[in-house]
Amino acid sequence: MHDRLSPTPEVAAALAEGRPVVALESTVISHGMPYPKNLETATALEDAVRAEGAVPATVAVLDGRIRVGLDGDALERLARGGTGVMKLSRRDLPVALATGVPGATTVAATMIAARLAGIAVFATGGLGGVHRGAETSFDVSADLDELARTSVCVVCAGAKSILDLPKTLEVLETRGVPILGLGTDEFPAFYSRNSGLPVSHRCDNVHEVAAILRAKWDLGLEGGVVLANPIPEADALDGAAMELAIEQALRDAEGHGIAGKSVTPFLLAALERITGGRSLTANIALIRNNAVTAARLAAAYAALTA
């Protein structure tokens, strides 16, 4: 265990005993949803992981330490922190650790913490990726490079649909990142189940996924794996309608001069407003679905590597 990490006793015991653990990010708490919905969602995700027999490990930086697993007080602190909580990717982790500024971890930073702690499976909502218009803005998420170098499986509902999905998949292919579709041949588009874009391999159960993870890492092929897990049909939104909403949100962002790491939180809030809250409801449903799948995968992988 790295000396910058502070796991909870529950997480430390599970890791020492080889029991399944699922990493969870914290930007969904501090930057992804309004209070108190963010706190309710964070608690529900942890409960969903426990219900499947795994241990949840929500990751954040607090008081100069990478916390792997958070108690109720820490979750509340992040949920109420607002702009006082730093959004942390790879480049920001050293700053938060050195200065003591509280920080919520993105996909990239959560992957780093999970790898340091020895956690193989991480559940999130959607990946960051290549932003629309990146050919002029050069706005590409650090999540993609992290997937190329850090050996953690990321369970997600595809990449955020506000992104350029074809370009995002091209970058992942170039980086050698396997994109496995759970019960699907298509890469899901976050709020909707279909994008028209193929995954690199379809898996129909988590045991097959676990076997692929073990084969990849046993070969010394460092780097992550994406498990694309479509939003449940009952919670999915119409893809065409969401595309119109996204285009409106992007125009709003441009009009307000929003750029960099502020883009995604702005767009998510704009979509919630434009869709009358339906996008937030779908977001919560897909994240919970990913947490359940990740817990099942973590159990399958733990059994395979015991």
In this predicted model, what pLDDT tens digit does every residue of 52-61 receive, in sequence order? 999 999 999 9
Let me know if 160 is a catalytic residue.
yes
In this predicted model, what pLDDT tens digit does every residue of 137-158 receive, in sequence order? 899 999 999 999 999 999 999 9
CATH value of 5-305 in 3.40.50.2300, 3.40.50.720, 3.40.1790.10, 3.60.110.10? 3.40.1790.10
Full DSSP string of 275-288 = TTTHHHHHHHHHHH
Let me know if 25 is a catalytic residue.
yes
Of 146, 160, 216, 261, the active-site residue reads 160
pTM across the whole model: 0.94
In this predicted model, what pLDDT tens digit does every residue of 239-266 receive, in sequence order? 999 999 999 998 998 899 887 777 877 8
Burial of 134 (0-12, 13-18, 19+ CB in 10 A): middle
Q: Domain ranges for the chain, please list them.
A: 5-305
Neighbours of 111 (CB within 10 A): 28
Report CA-CA distances (Å) from 17 to 13, 48, 59, 152, 306.
Answer: 6, 21, 20, 19, 10
| pLDDT reading at 175 higher than 80 | yes
- Residues annotated in a binding site for substrate: 87, 107, 141-143
Of 25, 46, 146, 272, the active-site residue reads 25
**DSSP-based three-state secondary structure for 110:** helix
In this predicted model, what pLDDT tens digit does every residue of 24-79 receive, in sequence order? 999 999 987 889 999 999 999 999 999 999 999 999 999 999 999 999 999 999 99
- Residues annotated in a binding site for Mn(2+): 139
Work out the angle between the directed axes of helices 165-174 and 142-149 (0-180°, nearest 10): 30
